[in-house]
Chain A
Amino acid sequence: MRHTLAILVENEAGVMTRVTGLFSARGYNIESLSVAPTLDETISRMTLVTRGDERVIEQINKQLNKLIPVIKTEDLSRTSHMERELVLVKVQAKHETRAEVLRMADVFRASVVDVSEESYTLELTGKAGKIDAFLRMLTPLHIIEMTRTGPIGMRRGGKAFAVEEK
């Protein structure tokens, strides 16, 4: 099953390697990983998507917590949560397809972030499924280049997933 993990880590050199090294050493798979500092700049937050049965996910959680710079983890998939992903996609747009590309952007509420004589670059935020659908629709129009962030996620409701204040 697919699991989305939120991980708070010390914002220091080498933490990413420790996390990814743990996955490769134990034969677990990372589907996507995104990371950036939090409001407290000494802490970074990772969103990591992986797959595995209950036993594997339990081990992943325990092994992550065993890494010294990992402060805490949360399996978002066990909670009511939201996920969003950002994609940048450069689509061929010559005379006959220029209007069609814009129409697709409009349908998916994507915005145009760059224009050239032969292309549009579109930006879209949404759930992974929506991004997939968007890309599927653009494929016949010829995608020149595409990059997506992988999801970031957060639990719904008023409580924070954060380091407790002392």
Chain B
Amino acid sequence: MKLTGAQIFVECLKREGVELIFGYPGGAVLSIYDEIFKQNHFRHVLVRHEQSALHAANGYARVSGRCGVAIVTSGPGATNAVTGLADSYADSVPTVCFSGQVPTNMIGNDAFQEADTVGITRSATKHNFLVKRVEDLAITIRQAFHIATTGRQGPVLVDIPKDITNDTCLFEYPETVDIRSYKPVSQGHPGQVRRAAKMLLEAERPMIYSGGGAVSSVGGAERLTELASLLNAPVTNTLMGLGAIPCDDPHFLGMLGMHGTYEANMAVTGCDLLIAIGARFDDRVTGRLDGFAPNAKVIHIDVDPSSISKNIHAHLPIVGDVGIVLKQLIDELARRETKADTNALAAWWQQIDGWRGRDCLHFEQPSDGKIKPQEVIRRLHAATAGEAIVVTDVGQHQMWAAQHYGFRKPRRWLTSGGLGTMGYGLPAALGAQMAAPDARTIVITGDGSFQMCTQELATAFQYKLPITVVILNNGYLGMVRQWQEMFYQQRYSHSYFDALPNFAKLAEAYGGIGIKVEQLDQLDGAISRAMAERERFMVLDVIVEGEENVYPMVPAGAAINEMVLS
């Protein structure tokens, strides 16, 4: 049967099992939107800005483990999507973005709403396509989903000129997809796995360092937790890796890096074997490279070969999917008769407990003073038993949330780790809440970040999403102010807002509930009211201590054991 390109689009998404897409219509995608109108295989969620469509698809993908899908129009629709694509690329989140394009005969003519979308998004995507014939549309969509969801996952963009959506051809869905130049490795090399097991058992001071790959890989989190207990080895997570091991697991030392815990950074510095699992030795993790794990042999498990030995030399690389390789490794360890040296491990744990004793995240909350931002996060944890989906923006609030919330499960912590996109939080929460309608979704944000995608409150209202937005309102761009205080002699250049909206009234204007919290004794009441709300979004504007800093902190250029603790 002959179908139009727009009908093929709908048919392909249906066959991919897509249940939800986020988008914004426009001239070049009108024919596709017309077909979307006529079908009921998937829902379309209308966001208020194309950047949000990509962030929402990202949030949906991270919570559900499925591919996020977005659709935008040509020109400004596509350029608005770029930040969202770059964000998903930096954090390896599987998303497919469809963009409209001017008709093929007008490409290159500076037509209305024309942009070189494939050119612009090339470095912000894992791969992108321009569809030039309607006959290529189905296979291109199939390949786009395949590339986005396999190997090191990431965003793929498919640019579809308007005439292609109207042209017709015989529709045949390609059941299988085979790209000869793209064959990601999932199984670890057995010899390397055996060598890794031997090194792990011989280590006296082993350390597990896991990242986003342990969360996104199927079975990664469970096996990471299992590996830690099998080896009785300490575990630290990157910002992206939080939730892979429960926060109350005795092996967990917290996050490492620039705002990591004292014990995590000291243990990395002191270990004799570091096993990196789905992590990429980002500069916010390593600090000064020659001071990072200086005494350790390094084993690195990663699905992306280019992440291995990029920043830190890996003595033993294992390319493969984290979940699969960890299974291989655990089986190999179980087969071995030699066991780890319990005396050495006991001494290692004694040393670690000494570092833990510093209680580096300690803060004082005066009973009648200003609310400490850390206190807000602690109370959110208490109110949700650490089981909420926590979505953040970027800055101080993000670091406090990472340090103080305490995650019990994977895929419940959504933050813009690699790109550091202010404005990510609220739109990502839309996708997260839709992926898990029964879960409590909390956006922890700042007064700066929240103003970058505030318009999505309208989307939250339209779709009756009971998202809780908690603004840690200090009147500053807090992280910028902190750096200016520490490194620029307190010259607060443009990091203070002389004008802020009344966030509670703003929430009401958008149809939600707004509460301003200025006193500590109002906090729990406001939180429990938000936790009980099932239909409307709620914004808690929490006025917090203005000049609180995030500690511990490793100054830029220092080694990670050179921490400023307070």
Binding site for B on A (CB under 8 A): 9-10, 13-14, 17-18, 21, 25, 55, 58-59, 62-63, 65-66, 68-71, 163
Given contacts A18-B122, A65-B305, contact A70 B310 (CB under 8 A): no
**Are A66 and B304 neighbours in the complex by a CB distance under 8 Å?**
yes
Stretch at the interface among B179-187, B195-203, B268-276: B179-187
**B128 nearest CB neighbor, chain A only:** A14
**Are A68 and B122 neighbours in the complex by a CB distance under 8 Å?**
no
Complex partner residue of B180 from A17, A58, A66, A71, CB under 8 angstroms: A71
**Are B147 and A68 neighbours in the complex by a CB distance under 8 Å?**
yes
Complex partner residue of A63 from B130, B147, B180, B306, CB under 8 angstroms: B306
B137-167 contact mask (Cβ, 8 Å, vs A): 1 or 0: 0000000000100000000000000000000
**Separation of A29 and B304 alpha carbons in the complex (Å):** 23
Task: Kindly list chain B residues whose C-beta atoms are within 8 Å of the C-beta of A63.
Answer: 306
**Separation of A13 and B180 alpha carbons in the complex (Å):** 17
Task: Kindly list chain A residues whose C-beta atoms are within 8 Å of the C-beta of B127.
Answer: 68
**Are B182 and A17 neighbours in the complex by a CB distance under 8 Å?**
no
**Separation of A62 and B119 alpha carbons in the complex (Å):** 22
**Separation of A26 and B503 alpha carbons in the complex (Å):** 42
Given contacts A59-B310, A70-B181, contact A14 B305 (CB under 8 A): no
**Are A163 and B180 neighbours in the complex by a CB distance under 8 Å?**
yes
**Separation of A121 and B179 alpha carbons in the complex (Å):** 45
A127 CB to closest chain B CB, in angstroms?
Answer: 31
**A63 nearest CB neighbor, chain B only:** B306
B257 CB to closest chain A CB, in angstroms?
Answer: 22
**Separation of A63 and B180 alpha carbons in the complex (Å):** 17
| B123 interface contact, C-beta 8 A | yes
**Are A55 and B181 neighbours in the complex by a CB distance under 8 Å?**
no
B530 CB to closest chain A CB, in angstroms?
Answer: 43
Q: Which 8 A-B pairs have the closest CB atoms?
A: A62-B306, A71-B181, A68-B127, A62-B305, A68-B182, A66-B306, A63-B306, A25-B123
**B310 nearest CB neighbor, chain A only:** A59
Task: Kindly list chain A residues whose C-beta atoms are within 8 Å of the C-beta of B306.
Answer: 59, 62-63, 65-66
**Are B122 and A21 neighbours in the complex by a CB distance under 8 Å?**
yes
Complex partner residue of A69 from B130, B181, B304, B305, CB under 8 angstroms: B181
Task: Kindly list chain A residues whose C-beta atoms are within 8 Å of the C-beta of B126.
Answer: 68
> Which B residues from 165 to 215 make CB contacts under 8 A with A?
179-182
Task: Kindly list chain A residues whose C-beta atoms are within 8 Å of the C-beta of B122.
Answer: 14, 17-18, 21
B257-286 contact mask (Cβ, 8 Å, vs A): 1 or 0: 000000000000000000000000000000
**Separation of A17 and B310 alpha carbons in the complex (Å):** 23
Q: List 14 A-B contacts (CB under 8 A).
A: A10-B181, A13-B130, A14-B122, A18-B122, A21-B122, A55-B309, A58-B309, A62-B305, A62-B306, A63-B306, A66-B304, A66-B305, A68-B126, A68-B179
**Separation of A65 and B179 alpha carbons in the complex (Å):** 13
**Separation of A65 and B410 alpha carbons in the complex (Å):** 31
Complex partner residue of B181 from A14, A17, A68, CB under 8 angstroms: A68
Given contacts A14-B118, A69-B181, A71-B181, contact A21 B305 (CB under 8 A): no
**Separation of A17 and B128 alpha carbons in the complex (Å):** 12
**Separation of A17 and B123 alpha carbons in the complex (Å):** 11
Task: Kindly list chain B residues whose C-beta atoms are within 8 Å of the C-beta of A58.
Answer: 309
**Separation of A5 and B306 alpha carbons in the complex (Å):** 17
**Separation of A72 and B81 alpha carbons in the complex (Å):** 32
Given contacts A66-B304, A71-B181, 10 further A-B contacts (CB under 8 A): A14-B130, A18-B122, A21-B122, A21-B123, A58-B309, A59-B310, A66-B306, A68-B126, A69-B181, A163-B180
**Separation of A58 and B307 alpha carbons in the complex (Å):** 11
B112-134 contact mask (Cβ, 8 Å, vs A): 1 or 0: 00000011001100110010000
Task: Kindly list chain A residues whose C-beta atoms are within 8 Å of the C-beta of B180.
Answer: 71, 163
B334 CB to closest chain A CB, in angstroms?
Answer: 32
B221 CB to closest chain A CB, in angstroms?
Answer: 25
**Separation of A83 and B306 alpha carbons in the complex (Å):** 28
B86-128 contact mask (Cβ, 8 Å, vs A): 1 or 0: 0000000000000000000000000000000011001100110
**Separation of A163 and B183 alpha carbons in the complex (Å):** 13
**Separation of A141 and B181 alpha carbons in the complex (Å):** 49
Task: Kindly list chain B residues whose C-beta atoms are within 8 Å of the C-beta of A65.
Answer: 305-306
Task: Kindly list chain B residues whose C-beta atoms are within 8 Å of the C-beta of A66.
Answer: 304-306
**A65 nearest CB neighbor, chain B only:** B305
Task: Kindly list chain A residues whose C-beta atoms are within 8 Å of the C-beta of B119.
Answer: 17
B289-322 contact mask (Cβ, 8 Å, vs A): 1 or 0: 0000000000000001110011000000000000
Task: Kindly list chain A residues whose C-beta atoms are within 8 Å of the C-beta of B118.
Answer: 14
A37 CB to closest chain B CB, in angstroms?
Answer: 15
**A66 nearest CB neighbor, chain B only:** B306
**Separation of A14 and B128 alpha carbons in the complex (Å):** 10
Task: Kindly list chain B residues whose C-beta atoms are within 8 Å of the C-beta of A25.
Answer: 123
A62 CB to closest chain B CB, in angstroms?
Answer: 4
Task: Kindly list chain B residues whose C-beta atoms are within 8 Å of the C-beta of A59.
Answer: 306, 310
Task: Kindly list chain B residues whose C-beta atoms are within 8 Å of the C-beta of A55.
Answer: 309
**Separation of A25 and B180 alpha carbons in the complex (Å):** 26
Residue of A9, A66, A163 with highest tally of chain B CB at under 10 A: A66
**Separation of A25 and B309 alpha carbons in the complex (Å):** 19
B6-30 contact mask (Cβ, 8 Å, vs A): 1 or 0: 0000000000000000000000000
Task: Kindly list chain B residues whose C-beta atoms are within 8 Å of the C-beta of A10.
Answer: 181
**Separation of A59 and B180 alpha carbons in the complex (Å):** 22
**B180 nearest CB neighbor, chain A only:** A71
A32 CB to closest chain B CB, in angstroms?
Answer: 23
A72 CB to closest chain B CB, in angstroms?
Answer: 8
**Separation of A18 and B181 alpha carbons in the complex (Å):** 14
**Separation of A9 and B179 alpha carbons in the complex (Å):** 12
**Separation of A70 and B182 alpha carbons in the complex (Å):** 8
**Separation of A17 and B118 alpha carbons in the complex (Å):** 11
Task: Kindly list chain A residues whose C-beta atoms are within 8 Å of the C-beta of B310.
Answer: 59
**B184 nearest CB neighbor, chain A only:** A66
**A55 nearest CB neighbor, chain B only:** B309
Residue of B126, B179, B180, B181 with highest tally of chain A CB at under 10 A: B181
**Separation of A38 and B173 alpha carbons in the complex (Å):** 31
**B122 nearest CB neighbor, chain A only:** A21
B303 CB to closest chain A CB, in angstroms?
Answer: 11
**Separation of A163 and B123 alpha carbons in the complex (Å):** 27
**Separation of A3 and B467 alpha carbons in the complex (Å):** 55
**Separation of A13 and B526 alpha carbons in the complex (Å):** 57
A97 CB to closest chain B CB, in angstroms?
Answer: 47
**B304 nearest CB neighbor, chain A only:** A66
**Separation of A66 and B123 alpha carbons in the complex (Å):** 13
Task: Kindly list chain A residues whose C-beta atoms are within 8 Å of the C-beta of B181.
Answer: 9-10, 68-71
**Separation of A13 and B122 alpha carbons in the complex (Å):** 13
